[in-house]
Amino acid sequence: MIQRLETSQRMSKIVKHNGVVYLCGQVGDGETVAEQTVDCLSRIDALLLRAGSSRGNILQAVIWLADMADFDEMNMVWDGWVPPGHAPARACGEAKLASPARKVEVIITAALW
């Protein structure tokens, strides 16, 4: 059975299927990539909790940066957020995001509790 939460015509923020939760891409507010990453990861925490999971259950993360020059700054926030011993499979690349103000977007797949 597929369960969709916070669904609109365009997308669902959360999709659960067969013990796995898929989150739509999350962005954050702020001026710097660090500020946006903190806010984005906070939104991910809230969605994972609503779905019945947590950051310790993340299987995969796909991170898009508007500029790879922000890689180290984003990683400083990311590394403090991921629980020790629970680093997911991860990819990070550069992409033109939905608006020029956006610096980072994160897509998460996690196991349910």
Strand partners, 17: 2, 20
Q: What is the pTM of this model?
A: 0.95
The closest alpha carbon to 27, from 8, 13, 16, belongs to 13
Q: Which domain holds residue 40?
A: 32-111
Is residue 77 classed as helix, strand or coil in its secondary structure?
helix
Does residue 95 fall inside a structural domain?
A: yes
| Mean pLDDT confidence for 90-113 | 97
pLDDT tens for each residue of 85-95: 999 999 999 99
Which pair of structure tokens corresponds to residue 78? 């990311």
Does residue 107 fall inside a structural domain?
A: yes
Specify whether the CB–CB gap between 19 and 112 falls below 8 A.
yes
Does residue 84 fall inside a structural domain?
A: yes
Longest dimension (CA), the chain: 42
pLDDT tens for each residue of 8-44: 999 999 999 999 999 999 999 999 999 999 999 999 9
| Mean pLDDT confidence for 46-69 | 98
Does residue 44 fall inside a structural domain?
A: yes
Share of the chain above pLDDT 70, in %: 100
Does residue 36 fall inside a structural domain?
A: yes
Does residue 37 fall inside a structural domain?
A: yes
The closest alpha carbon to 25, from 109, 106, 99, belongs to 106
Could you report how far apart the first and last alpha carbons of the chain are, in Å? 17
Query: How many structural domains does the chain have?
Result: 1
Alpha-carbon gap, residue 38 to 2, rounded angstroms:
30
CATH code at position 97 = 3.30.1330.40
| Chain mean pLDDT for the chain | 97
Does residue 47 fall inside a structural domain?
A: yes
